[in-house]
Structures are given as structure tokens and as C-alpha cells.
Structure 1
Amino acid sequence: MKKILFATSEAVPFVKTGGLADVAGSLPKYFNKKEYDVRVMLPKYLCIKEEWRNKMEYVTHFYMDWKCDSTYVGVLKLVHDGITFYFIDNEGYFGGFTPYGDIFGDVEKFAFFSKAVLSTLPLIDYRPDIIHCHDWQTGLVPVYLDNFRFGNEFFRGIHTIMTIHNLKFQGTWDTKRIREITGLPDYYFAPDKLEAYKDANYLKGGIVYADRVTTVSKTYAEEIKTPFYGEKLDGLMNARSNCLTGIVNGLDYNDWDPAEDERIDYNFSVEDFRKKKVKNKTALQKELGLKVDPKAMMIGIVSRLTDQKGLDLVAYVMDELCQDAIQIVVLGTGEEQYENMFRYFAWKYPDKVSANIYYSDPMSHKIYASCDAFLMPSLFEPCGLSQLMSLRYGTLPIVRETGGLKDTVEPYNEYEKTGTGFSFANYNAHEMMAAVRYAEKIYYDKKRDWNKIVERAMKKDFSWNNSARQYEELYDSL
């Protein structure tokens, strides 16, 4: 039986700010239970809902050497969906209203968490063969492990994997300060270890010291070796390329299932979507005050409203797009300029544009179920889950060929009758526009072909089962 510990700063259903939580909370359920004992360790934030906090059982507590002092570390656990979750407790660090605050506080908080993860292991009767670390918040785990091995037999032979969910976020701060916080020897703060461009960099430390490095799609694993996507670590990614693997994230197919989904008005499946999917569309048109027209092509955008998501391209051609026979439904929050841009167009074209500048899980399900197409023109996208959700609901993705979008959306080929969506290559507003208009043409003029694409999209399997098998292979190789 192989023992795997996920170290993460967030996990569903306890705390979530992004896709990392879905991976850390959902993936462990899909491993072969006979061969892998997978558990998860995360901070016990005060912002975790009380209903979960009340279910946690006390395991132990101890005092850890920390910043020239000894600091309290509590350990609680909760079994959910057959997976054991451990929670590291220290209200001084994890007492805020949100899991993350300013980077100055966060670098200290997650250094504490990384050291506490390792310090907890000898006391909970669980010695993992592999610690699977996620993103910069756990980047110091492999570094501390290297340091702990010298004086403690227990830690020898434990392997580590570092998964990069988004290379843009690295956890960097002033080297002198990080040295004081972590208590790590000066030896670690060299340019070939933790230091990058005069600062200490948590993610870099994790990449340097982990036995294997993974990212969340094959294309992204290649992209981050180039200066454009490499966020100044492309040299390091090339140096470690023999240990680098890309494994696409999956989707929890129990939660995202158009046939069973309670959050949508009409359930449908690949057998009956032709009749039933459109009922969701007219229901949503009524709810959002758009013109009720079952034949109008509806395009959805569910996204953080930021530059990374390609919204500057949308802003550039939005007026032109609104001249077409389409409706656009937007859901999300983010940068003020994009929030206001969508509000403006919803005011200018009330029949055609609905701007929902908030986030709501039920509304996101309704949009995936109701729309005909889904627009995702990202500048970069390590994996992306929205396109997987839209494929699952037969809403054809229109994407830019980058990262996980390129790996999961096969562009429609009208001659070979293949493909599950539409794509464009260059980061260019008019190229995006051409892809949208091509999709419109197929939707309006070749309805039978369109429905065949929807059928292929809905039959694709991007469940976690696929990803879990690839991770199992990776674990076995270690």
C-alpha cells in the first residue's frame, strides 16, 4: 500500500478560491483504494464554515521551534467521502477572514504551514512515501524535508512531487526576511536553490528540491520552458525538464452532470440534448431579461475578469460582436475596467447582453447548461476547468490554443467531421472574432453538423479517473 500525502493551501469542500481546491479535494477520491492511501493536509482557517469545523476531531498538539521560539501547532482530522483530511491549527496564522491576505503575511504563514506539515508526521502514525505539494504555498516542504533528513531517520526516503497550477504565483519576498522567518541555513539561499533575482522564491525552492515536477497540462509543461510563459523561471524549467510531466486536471463528473444536475431547470443527456438543452436557454433568457428566442445563438463567459483570461480581446471587438445575431451572458468578478465594460454593453444592448458581476455556483451551472457556445480566449491557461465543464454540458468552447485549452478542445474540421469546439492560435482580437463568426456560421447554416459536434463534446471523458491513472503511474515511478 503506497501512502501519499497531499499538502495544499485549499481543498473543496472546506475552502476554495480557485481550481487548486478542486484538484486537492476531488482527485484523492479517484485513486485505487487498494493500492493507494491518499490523505490531505491543509490549514485550519477560521473562515472554514462552522459546520465543517464542528465535525473535526482533535488528534494531537505540540510546540514547534519557530522564529527563536516554540509555537503551538494543533492537528485535527475529518474523514469526508472516504478521504482523511488533516487540519493544521494555529489561530495566529490562520485566523483571518480569507485564506490569503497580503503577500508579506502569506509568506510567513505558509512557511509555518510547510514546516508544520513535516513536524506533524511523526506524531500522527502516518509516514507517507510521497508528499505531493501544490503551488508556492507548499514550496518550502521539499526544502524543509531536505533539511530535516540530516538529523532524523524518519524523513529519509520520503519523496516529493511539486505541482505547478499557475507559474505566475511564486511566493517571493526579501531574502533576509525569509531567512529570519524560516530559520533555514544560509546554504539554501543561493541562486541555484531558493534565491531568484535577489529575492527568496518559495516555488523555485520546491521545483529545485522536489523529486518530480508536474503541471496541469502537457502543453503548459512545454510552454513554461519559454521566456513568454516561463515567468522568469524558464531556465530552471528547462534544467528540470527530464523530471517535468504535464497531467491535465479532471472534472468531478458527479458534480457536473447535466443528466442529474439539480441546479439547472431541465436535465438532459447526450441522447436528448437536441430537444431539452434549448429549454434551459429560454428559461435563462427569461430569468436574465434577455429577448426570449430559442433560435438565437447564446455565448457564455464564466470567468475571473482579468487580463489573463483574454478579456482585452473581448473589449476590443465587443461592439462589433453585438451587431451579430447572438446573445452574450457573462458571470464573474475581477478588474474594475472589465466589470464596467460588461455593465456598459448590458446597458447599451439590453436584449443581447447580460452582465452578472458576481459569482454564484448555481448560476454558473445554468450558464453551462443553457448556452450554445462558451468563449475562453485566454492569454495563458495552465489547465482551465471551464472548457471541461462546457464540453460536459454540450456548450461548444471557442478557445485560444494555449495550455490546457489546446490539450482538451479539438478544433472542428468540417471536411473530416471531427472536433469538439473552435479555436484560434494568435492572441489577436480579430482572429478571435473570426473563430466566433465561424462558430456562428456552423450554428445557423449547418445545424446538423453543429449537433454532431455537441454529441462528440458530451461524449469526451475528462473525469478525474483519467488524471488519477496518470498520477498513479508517476507515483509508481518514484
Structure 2
Amino acid sequence: MTESKADKIMVADTVGVEVISTAGVELSNTTEMELANTAEVVVPNDTHSPPRIDSGKEILTELRKEFAVSGKEFQPSSSAITKGTVTGAKVKKPKAVSMYQVDGDLLNSFLSETLCNLPMHPTSHVEVCWAKQYKTTQYSSSGPSGSEDIPMAMAVVTASHFIAKTPWSRYNGASDLEGSAFQIRRIPYLSSHANTFEGLRSRNQMNSRPMQSTRQVRKGIQHANPRLSVICASGMNLIFVGAEVAPWSKTGGLGDVLGGLPPAMAANGHRVMTIAPRYDQYKDGWDTSVSVKLKVGDRIETVRFFHSYKRGVDRVFVDHPLFLAKVWGKTGGKIYGPVTGTDYEDNQLRFCLLCLAALEAPRVLNLNNSKYHSGPYGEDVVFVANDWHTSLLPCYLKTMYQAHGIYKNAKVAFCIHNIAYQGRFAFEDFSRLNLPDTFKSSFDFIDGYDKPTKGRKINWMKAGIIESNRVLTVSPYYAKELVSGIDKGVELDNILRLKTICGIVNGMDINEWNPSTDKYITANYDATTVMEAKPLNKEALQAEVGLPVNSKIPVIAFIGRLEEQKGSDILAEAIPKFIDQDVQVIVLGTGKKKLERQLALLEDKFPDKFRAHMKFNVPLAHGIMAGADILIIPSRFEPCGLIQLQGMRYGIPSMCTTTGGLVDTVKEGITGFHMGPFSVECDFVDKADVLKIVETVKRALMVYGTPAFEEMIQNCMAQDHSWKGPAKEWEKFLLSLGLEGGEAGIEGEEVAPLAMENVATP
């Protein structure tokens, strides 16, 4: 018998009638009375309507019908009905929410088949406290599991994942927060449902008792009877907005974050939506038939919303020719420009449109795929804007919505994934953004570059930082670097020092990158079999890329974009200086043509030692993870980095520069080798950085094959780099924004993707 750290939501049961719930509010038993003599009973109606006020006689009729269905006779009496009221709360209309429960003797068998099968979150537990007997009976999917005598008479259901915070227009409900409101929704019970029930801790101190944790899983089949419903209040409504969302669209870490973090937040009891452009005809994105007209520049544009519900997250895609014209086969699938480093001319219009559409979606989309939430997200939401493409969101929120009483309580967090990309444009382009002149100072920026014009510019990222409520980035060390000076802060360090910034390390998708189940590798393995499987996977990798097959030769691998930030130009100059060692090198990546040609020349020069594969190849990436011995990550700067996390998952130590998230995740001599910091100048290759690579390679090869290296492999595989930990840190950060009614969720298990669900279907 252990007590959970999660919160219990107090719910009074009205079997056969919907249940009204408030969070953290103590229910006190006042008087016993017959339900038939009660003048008013508050009954929820539906998602979008205020509750109805019925008489006790009407409720009594419904109860009798319900018990007739269950084969039980319902006889109201003063001992069978207990009235409870909400106390210690800020209550608007009605002044008190009346809650009733029926004596436990009559309901024991009925609740065994209904209440315990509610579609609750995986970390929920059912507990019924009998009115007459003063006993607690705990329920799991197999029925009652024992009783305890306790001095109280009320019914409670712990299911804090049911929360929704959209207020009604005429009813504010009862809560322990001034002005807060809780949405009531109807949830049909399931006769059998995939649930894991766990004990949760009650906020009512007299009800904080240990509860047995049971874990029983059953598959769900929904029945039509919607009579038993619950309402609870917990978690936040979160809207992640970005130019990429994996697996549908991705060029780097931004897409991975919007793909992996939202399901982890949903697992913690929050309602989560992502909004990204619809770059392609995604087969799993369904047309909602909802469209809105938006003013972009001097034109009125119509966007349409597509939707997919996966792993507890509402995936929303903004459909418009500005996005869809950039599809595979027409422009090579490039999201931001025709070639790396070059923007599309209409990028400002494209991402203005994204920001405006993102502000409309939570209000107009009536989404009902979730078992726990339904209807529009409403206006009490937290927007998470990601990188410069979404910097206008807080600006439009203030001018077009909050200035007119809409989204009054909404907050915006701005996340920097890579400060090198800021959205700098000609200053005269400000007029195209449809913002008041009062925002000019937030955008105003002067730099020494001549792209797109020299001198005065507008800087989207600067405005996003200033106008958002709080700013964060993707690792603690990168946050320190951003405020350390002009080099690492890329001329926004002063703004960030004034605003302050928080860093949270990214997680990774442990379902896609899992050596024990990876379908792309020759021999699956875990920490107990890694040393036996590695040679087999290495030989398969060597054969795949055309290198001499020899499992005893150490293989060093690079996977990443071929551009200056990733240090691929430094690596290209370093390879000839260490290739004479007993080693093979494999490079997988695409990027700048100049670097691709340089690597092709190295392959011609060292045919038995070096291979460069300059095409995106998912199976080969997995094969490298399983077969290589060491990853090399020579980034000039690295906000977080994902490749080192994936490498650790497969038992590969990394050789990396001492920068950004690599400092937070790779530990010298434990999970990898640090090469020291590199120059951030991308216009030339610093010879000192080349030497650092050569020296670190030689140092790593001296450790390779020793017990110390085997220990490093085990250390790597012991790391937990899932999104579970980062999601809790994100939750703390977003709660600090002070959204009215925002609450912590519960610690749940992330919904694993179904077969092929993690693959976009263009």
C-alpha cells in the first residue's frame, strides 16, 4: 500500500446522472435528506452548453430508470441519500453545487461493472466511499478489491486526466481559483477498456489514505450508454506552433521536438495540440472542413485546417498554397528555400499566415477524438512558439485578440532551437506584417551583414523574445552560451540577458530508436547482449557501404547535415590526418554541394577506409547506430543535439565538441570524449579545431577494445533520454507563466505509436 504523488480529484457520484467535479475542493457532508424533496440539482448538459437545473423528482426518475436497467431496485430513503456541498471555494452561479450519492449496498454490483470501467487515464484509480457504511472500496477492472473503515461519507473518483478548462459563456462552475472555470463533458463508460489503475493522492486531507496499486489491462469496446459521466480539472491546454513537426515535416531538431514532446505532455494529463503547415498531401491528415479568412499583407487569404489525432495529441495542419506548393517533386521538399541557406521570397507571408492560423485553431476547431477531452480548446491556453517562424504569434495575440478581450488569459512561451536563424529582413518589410508602429522597436535591428540588405533590418526572433511572456531553449548549457556574448548569442545576447532564459534538455523518441526492436538492423540487442550483437551489426554495415568486412576494425561515423554549423568542413580536413590509423570512417548526410564534393574526393582517395553516403537514408542511419563504434560530432555550436542521444541508446560513445547540449548529455570518460570548444566562425576552418579532432580520435582509439570502453558502452545504454523527464521540466516552466487555472498534470505513461504510426504518409 503506497501513496501516489499525483492529485486526486474529488467527484460526487450521481449514478445515472452526470457527475460534477471540482479540483482540490473539499466536500463536507451536511445533512441527509431525500432526493425527492430537493428543489434544485445541477446537472451537466453537454460540452458547449451550461448545465441544466433539474428538480430532485426529475433526477429521481432518471435514477429509477438506471437501476431498472441494472436489475436493481432503487428505494430512496433518508439513509440512502447524502447531500454534499462544495466548501472553501470561490463560487459563482449557482452558489453551491449539490452532489448526491446512493447508498453503497444498492450500488456495489452496479458500480463494479460501470464506474470501474470509466475511460480513465492510465494513472487513475477508482475509489467509492460508502455513505451509510463509512467504508472505502477500491475498484480495478476486475471489480472490488477490499474495504477499509474510514470516517466519512462521500463518493470520489480519481481521474485527473479528464480535465478541460474552457469556460462556459453563462456558467463559471465552482473552483478554488477566482474566475476559473471547468468544462463539463459527457464521457460514455466502456464495458472494457485498456486501463491501468493506480492510486492517486487526494487533496482532501481526511481522504489522504494509502490505496493499493493495481495494474490490469483490458482492450476497450465502447458502448452506447452515456449515462455515467465525470468532470475533473487538472493540467493545461497547450498549443505548440512550429514550421516543422516530425514525422510529417523535419529538417532538424525543431521537427523532432514538436514530434516527441507533445505526446509526453499529453501523457502527463495535459490537452495538447500542435500546429504546423501542411506541406504535402498527408494521408493521415483529415480535412476538418473548417476554414478561416485571414489578412496577410494586403490580401485576404483563406486557410483550411486538417487534423490527425495520434498518441494523445491533436495534430493540426494549416492548408494553403503558400505551403502546399513547396511539396516533394516540385521543389525537392525544401521547407524554407530552394537550396540550403536560401529563403523563399514569400517566407514572411508564409509564416505570418502560420501565426495567424495558429491563433484561430484553438477557438474554431471542435475536436472530439480524445476520450478525455472534447470541443474547442478555448481561450485559456498556453502557446509555445518555436523559432523565428512563429515570432509574430505573441505580437498578433496582443494586437488582434487581447486588445479586444479575446485570449485575455492566454500566455506565450518562446523556444529557441537555433539562434543562428533569426528571420532578418529589410526594415521596410515591417509594413507587410500588419502590426502597429508601436511594435517597430521590438523588430528594429542593425547588423553588419549585407543579407538581405546592409544596415537597418527587422528581426523576427528579437520580437518573439521581447513580446513573449518567457523564453527557453533546448539545453541549460546552450542557455548560458546565448547570454555569454555576441559570438554565441549571435547579436541577441543583450536582449536575452534582459529577458532571462531557461534551458531544458531535449528528449528523444525511444520507440523509433530502440535496438531491441529495430527492424532495420541485423541483430537486435539490449544492454545484456550488446557486446555479442555489435560485431554482427558492424559486419553488416561494412558490407552495406562497401568497406572491407572486419569486425575488429573500429568504425567512426558521422550523421548530420553537411554544413558549417555541424563542423563537417572541419571533419573533412581532419580525416586525411588520422585515416592512417587502424580505423574506418562512414559519413551519412546531405547539405551544401561544396562539402559533398569534398567528401566524394576523400572517398576516391581512401576507398578501403572511407565512405560518404550523400542521400537521406533511414535504414542506413539505423544500421550505422547499431554497427559503428564511435560517433563523431564536430559541431561549431549545438543547441542540444539529438544524434548523441540516439547513439547512447544503441551503445555508441560520442566524440564531440564542448558546446551546448553536448556538454549536458555527454560526460567525458563515461559516455564519450570531449574535443573542447571550437571556433564559431563559419567562414574558415580553424587549424586548431582540426588538430583537436585528430588528437581526440587517437585518444579514443587507445581506449577502444579495453574494459573501460565496454564500460562506456554500458553507461551509454543505461541513460534515460526519453521525453518523460524533459516533459516534467517543461510542465514546471509552463506553470510558471501563471495561466489562470493552470495546474500540474499527473505522471502517466506515454502512448506508444502503433505500427507505422511514426512514419509520415505523404
TM-score (norm 1): 0.93
Match of 1:409 in 2: 666
**Cα separation, 1, equivalents of 2:260 and 2:701:** 35
Deviations 1:288-311 (A, max 9, x none): 221111110100111111111122
Q: Contact between 2:573 and 2:690, CA under 8 Å: does it hold in 1?
A: yes
Is structure 2 residue 531 aligned with structure 1 residue 274? Answer: yes
How far apart in 2 are the matches of 1:466 and 1:200?
A: 37
Match of 2:300 in 1: 70
Among 173, 183, 196, which residue is 2:445 paired with? 196
**Structure 2 residue 253 is matched with structure 1 residue 19:** yes
1:149–1:76 distance in 2 versus 1, CA, 3 Å: same
Q: Does 1:458 align with 2:717?
A: yes
Letter in 2 for 1:76: F
Structure 1 range deviating more: 97-106 or 287-296: 97-106
1:164 partner letter: I
- Secondary structure in structure 2 of the residue aligned to 1:257: coil
Kept in 1, the 8 Å contact 2:474–2:504? The answer is yes
Letter paired with 1:286:
A
Matched, 1:42 2:276: yes
Shift of 1:276: 0.8
Instruction: Choose 304-313 or 146-155, whichever is displaced more.
Output: 146-155
The answer to whether the 8 A contact 1:162-1:213 is kept is yes
Q: Residue 13 of structure 1: CA displacement?
A: 2.1
Residues 93 and 343 of structure 1, relative CA distance in 2, 3 Å threshold: closer
1:105 paired residue among 337, 346, 349: 346
Structure 1 residue 136: Cα displacement:
0.7
CA contact (8 A) 1:302 1:364 kept: yes
**1:438 equivalenced with 2:699 (yes/no):** yes
**Is 1:351 the equivalent of 2:608?**
yes
- Does structure 1 residue 9 correspond to structure 2 residue 270? no
- Match in the other structure for 1:143: 395
Q: 1:400 aligns with which of 632, 657, 663?
A: 657
Q: Distance in 2 between matches of 1:423 and 1:155?
A: 47
Deviation at 1:394, TM superposition (A): 0.9
**Alpha-carbon shift at residue 48 of structure 1 (Å):** 4.3
Shift of 1:92: 4.1
TM-aligned CA distance change 1:314 to 1:30, over 3 Å: same
Cα separation, 1, equivalents of 2:429 and 2:555: 52
Partner of residue 309, structure 2: 79
Aligned to 1:237: 496
CA contact (8 A) 2:296 2:352 kept: no
In structure 2, the partner of 1:324 is 581
Q: How far did residue 157 of structure 1 move?
A: 1.3
**Percent identity of paired positions between Structure 1 and Structure 2:** 30
Distance in 2 separating the partners of 1:434 and 1:48: 48
Paired amino acid for 2:336: Y
CA-CA distance at 1:78 after TM superposition = 1.6
Contact 1:122 1:154 survives alignment (8 Å):
no
- SS of 2:458's equivalent? strand
420, 424, 440: which one aligns with 2:671? 420
Cα pair distance change 1:83/1:120, threshold 3 Å: closer
Gaps in structure 1 of 5+ consecutive residues: 413-418
**Which 5+ residue runs of structure 2 have no aligned equivalent?**
1-234, 328-332, 338-342, 366-375, 447-455, 679-688, 738-762
CA distance in structure 1 between the partners assigned to 2:299 and 2:605 by the alignment: 61
Q: Distance in 1 between matches of 2:526 and 2:496?
A: 42
> Distance between the aligned counterparts of 1:437 and 1:410, measured in 2?
18
Task: With the length of structure 2 as denominator, give the TM-score of the two structures.
Answer: 0.59
Instruction: Indicate the SS of the match to 1:77.
Output: strand
Instruction: Give the alignment's Cα RMSD to 1 decimal.
Output: 1.6
Corresponding residue for residue 415 of structure 1:
none
1:382-421, Cα deviation, whole Å (9 max, x unpaired): 0110111111111110001100111100000xxxxxx111
Q: Is the 8 A contact 1:59 1:77 kept in 2?
A: no
2: CA distance, partners of 1:34 / 1:385: 23
Could you say which residue in structure 2 is the equivalent of 1:285?
A: 542
Which amino acid counterpart does residue 143 of structure 1 have in structure 2? C
Q: Secondary structure of 2:305's partner?
A: strand
Following the alignment from structure 1 to structure 2, what is the Cα–Cα distance between the partners of residues 443 and 259? 24
Partner secondary structure for residue 487 of structure 2: coil
Partner AA of 1:372 in structure 2: D
**Alignment of 1:159 onto 2:415:** no
C-alpha separation between the residues in 1 aligned to 2:543 and 2:267? 46
Out of 433-442 and 31-40, give the one that drifted further.
Answer: 31-40
Answer with 144-153 or 232-241: which moved more. Answer: 144-153
Size of the alignment, in residue pairs?
461
Q: Are the structure 2 counterparts of residues 228 and 69 from structure 1 closer, same or farther at C-alpha, using a change threshold of 3 Å?
A: closer
- Cα shift readout 1:221-272 (whole Å, capped 9, x = no counterpart): 011112111111111111112xx11111111001101111001111111101
Contact in 2 for aligned 1:15/1:48 (Cα 8 Å): no
The farther-off stretch of 152-161 and 310-319 is: 310-319
Q: Look up the match of 2:634.
A: 377
The 1:65–1:315 alpha-carbon spacing in structure 2 relative to 1, beyond 3 Å, is closer
Question: 1:467 offset after TM fit, Å?
Answer: 0.9
8 Å CA contact 2:290, 2:304 repeated in 1:
yes
Distance in structure 2 (CA, Å) of the matches to 1:265 and 1:470: 37
Q: In the alignment, what sits opposite 1:416?
A: none
The equivalent position to 1:223 in structure 2, one of 450, 463, 481, is: 481
Take 2:599 and 2:302, find their aligned partners in 1: how far apart are those partners? Answer: 48
Deviations 1:418-446 (A, max 9, x none): x11111214221122111111100114xx
State the secondary structure of the residue aligned to 1:308.
coil
* Structure with max Cα Rg: 2
Comparing 133-142 and 24-33, the one that deviates more: 24-33
Counterparts of residues 335-346 of structure 1 (less than 5 Å): 335-346=592-603
**Distance in 1 separating the partners of 2:281 and 2:404:** 34
TM-superposed CA distance for 1:66, in Å, is 3.2
Give, in whole Å, the separation in 2 of the partners of 1:150 and 1:108: 23
Change (3 A) 1:267 1:150: closer
Identify the range of structure 1 (7-16 vs 58-67) with the bigger mean alpha-carbon deviation: 58-67
Q: How big is each residue's C-alpha offset from its partner over 1:154-193, in whole Å with a ceiling of 9 and x where there is no partner?
A: 22110000001000111121122232x2211111112xx1
* Equivalent position of 1:183 in the other structure: 434
The one of 490, 504, 510 equivalent to 1:253 is 510
SS in 1 for 2:502: strand
Query: Does the Cα contact within 8 Å between 1:94 and 1:109 map onto a contact in 2?
Result: no
Who is 2:570 aligned against?
313
Residues 148, 155 of structure 1: 8 Å contact kept: no
